[in-house]
Chain A
Amino acid sequence: MTSIARENLFKAPSRMEFLKKRFRKLEFGIQAFLFFCGFVSILTTIGIVFELGKESLLFFQTPGVNLVEFFTTTTWQPSIGQYGVLPLVTSTLMTSTFAMLIALPLGLAAAIYLSEYADPKVRKVLKPILEILAGIPTVVYGYFALTFMTPLLRGIFGQQTVQIYNTLSAGLVMGIMILPLVASMSEDALRAVPRALREAAYGVGATKLETSIQVVLPAALSGIVAAFIIGISRAVGETMIVAVAAGAGPKFTFNPFEGAETMTGYIARISGGDLSYDTPDYNSIFAIGLLLFVITLGLNIISRTISRRFREVYE
């Protein structure tokens, strides 16, 4: 026993001592650093909330600005003291709606094809192509909207009807950009539906289409809804396409062929110029940023809650 003991312990004087807890400085230091790394994300959120909140407060203390008018009046013209955010919100709503009109049906149809119809080989080719679409920088989509979509729309509806900058063109191109996101999230939801459910449907004589639409789709519905909501959130927060193609200058209009500035477009334009600190202009981008943050965060949380419920059903 003693001979084993000696070769056992490279350094320890006695085994009782050897087993004693020791303080490992390196281990402790590393763990502290790693915790800090994780904590940076909390600091980021605190930073966002604090800065947006602080500057927004300053904005609402500007003479001529009040919360009720901010949300109810339809003119945004800081130079003459008009601070109604509605035109920015409605144009955001319009571009997002057009985008979702494209992205939802196409994305869902593509997801059904990839999940239910495509054989693995075809899927392996098609999916990466859609992923390329998702990887293209948004400023390139902006270019595409301005040099392809807008002339196309003007060709179809007439140069007089369609302005060079218009919300429809920006919205449609945004829809193409969001399509792969909706498609891939919906596909994940469809594929998570257990095979047994499909087999049950086939077992009672359903065709592939009937199985897909009447059995698999309803089962995956909450996952698909989550994908849609994420898509909407992406559309609301998208900046470059609208900054390039939707028009500069807020305008309260529901005409898709007219230019109208969105919330993000406004922030980009104002801060692109020579912006001096502590002016109403400067503070206003924080107020609108806060609104944007609240909307997108809310949509993301809703989406994540729905998709968590969905996962709980199947896992």
Chain B
Amino acid sequence: MINGHETLLSSQTPEMTRRNRSASLWQAIFFGAIVIGIIMLMVLLATIVNQAFGLVIIVDKVPAAALSDRPLEELSREELTTILQNRLSKNRFKTIQRDHAIETMPLSDLVNLVIDNVVQPQVKKSYPLLQSILNRSEILELAKSDYPDARVEFRSWLNRRFLTSTMSPRPETAGVRTAIMGSALLILITIVVAFPLGVGAAIYLEEYADSRRWINRVIQTNIDNLAGVPSIIYGILGLAIFVRALEPLTSGAAFGVVGQNGRTVLSAGLTMALLILPILIINAQEAIRAVPNSLRQASYGLGATKWQTIWFHVLPVALPGILTGTILAVSRAIGETAPLIIVGASTLIMKDPDGVFSSFTALPIQIYNWTTRPQDTFRNIAAAAILVLLALLLSLNAAAILLRNRFSRQ
């Protein structure tokens, strides 16, 4: 009898062994799903890094050695100007003189000008990072046999020039400055419009709205539904309303701006604001709901009005939560691409946006555009632009997490 009980409690019975084995198998499978997710994230990041760095085979149209016996970086302003004058057609030189202040621009920029216009380096072939490391010698050999004049160098496609130069049809010289400024302006407009509207709606729904009245129930349900509408639909809405119907306003024509159509950064910003509004409202509602009711009662008990209570007591306490929610909503807007395509962000824009009524490009639009080009080198700069975008999102999210932690410690 005692013996029987021992067997009963032991995990060694055939039945328990079977059950335990299947249990650990399934536990491994459940955990495996998460591992797959994490691996995919790693692979995704690796793919991008892999494309953003690597060996390139470069052929100069005019080798730098043919221009001067010293490296270009050591030449004086006069010498560089002379090279430009001698090597370029009169018209081309005049254009450059008009676009750039040769006499005053930093010397390093002038060197870049000479490189872009005279030396004209062309990336004949580019290799991803992994291949560059593993097959380095083969690549060097191939370069020697196929491109005798070529230089092989290790290139980080994400570099200072990439961040500071404007868009260009040539991947070697293209940069994301215009796109970054476009994205920044776009987000600024989005925040300016969406933040007050979103927080206002959240305050209304949490503090004023009597949920027994049909209109308030409709508003709440409607917001929940809008949060699930695909972003491309917002793009279509923006195209119909902001770009087309409100063209006189969004193009700036009503304010004396000439020669612009409705496809402005303002239209895009308004569209984006509508897009993130539901998420922003829902996040802000949660933050406001988390404010303890005792605080409101204390305030009302002193004879405060509703707005005094909200302004002096509810909002200050809810603010960190509201800001965190806003940052999360805004980081969605930064990466959104589809609505921008629809409302007409242009891809080949060299001029920085100079106001809300300018046409513009944005970081995700550039990434999309470069990704869909056939040449490998566009793939490289797309990867570099993705790194910029991810860095931007990462810092925003880090800010949100810091804010949340500071909030929860109090």
Where the two chains meet, the residues of A that have a C-beta atom closer than 8 Å to any C-beta of B are 24, 26-27, 30-31, 33-42, 44-45, 47-48, 51-52, 55, 105-110, 112-114, 116-117, 126, 129-130, 132-133, 135-144, 146-148, 176, 179-180, 183, 207-210, 213, 230, 233-234, 236-240, 243-244, 264, 267-268, 271-272, 277, 285-286, 289, 292-293, 296-297, 300-301, 304
Contact = CB atoms under 8 A, between A and B. Distances in A.
Contacts of B67: none
Given A35-B208, A289-B233, A142 B34 contact: no
B197 A37 contact: yes
B265 interface: no
Which label, helix, strand, loop or mixed, suits the secondary structure of the B interface?
helix
A110 B228 contact: no
B43 A148 contact: yes
A143 B281 contact: no
B228 A300 contact: yes
Contact of B342 (A36, A238, A268, A304): A268
Nearest to B51: A147
B379 interface: yes
Nearest to B345: A272
Interface stretch (B17-25, B132-140, B349-357): B17-25
A136 B19 CA distance: 40
A293 B226 CA distance: 10
Given A207-B19, A293-B229, A27 B305 contact: yes
Contacts of B204: 31, 34-35, 37-38
A117 B30 contact: yes
B31 A117 contact: yes
A294 to B, nearest CB: 11
Interface of B: 19-20, 22-23, 26-27, 29-34, 36-38, 40-41, 43-44, 47-48, 51, 196-201, 203-205, 208-209, 216, 218-219, 222-226, 228-233, 235-237, 239-241, 244, 274, 277-278, 281, 305-307, 331, 334-338, 341-342, 344, 364, 367-368, 371-372, 379, 382-383, 386, 389-390, 393, 397
Given A38-B209, A113-B31, A237-B233, A207 B20 contact: yes
B389 A137 contact: yes
A233 B227 CA distance: 12
Given A34-B204, A148-B43, A271 B239 contact: yes
A129 B37 contact: yes
A34 B386 contact: no
B231 to A, nearest CB: 7
A96 to B, nearest CB: 12
A297 B197 contact: no
Contacts of B26: 209, 213
B31 A286 contact: no
B33 A110 contact: yes
B34 A143 contact: no
Contacts of B367: 139-140, 143
Given A117-B31, A137-B364, A277-B244, A24 B305 contact: yes
A133 B37 contact: yes
12 contacts: A34-B204, A38-B216, A41-B201, A41-B281, A116-B30, A144-B47, A147-B47, A234-B230, A239-B338, A271-B342, A296-B233, A304-B224
Contact of B371 (A42, A113, A143, A289): A143
B251 to A, nearest CB: 14
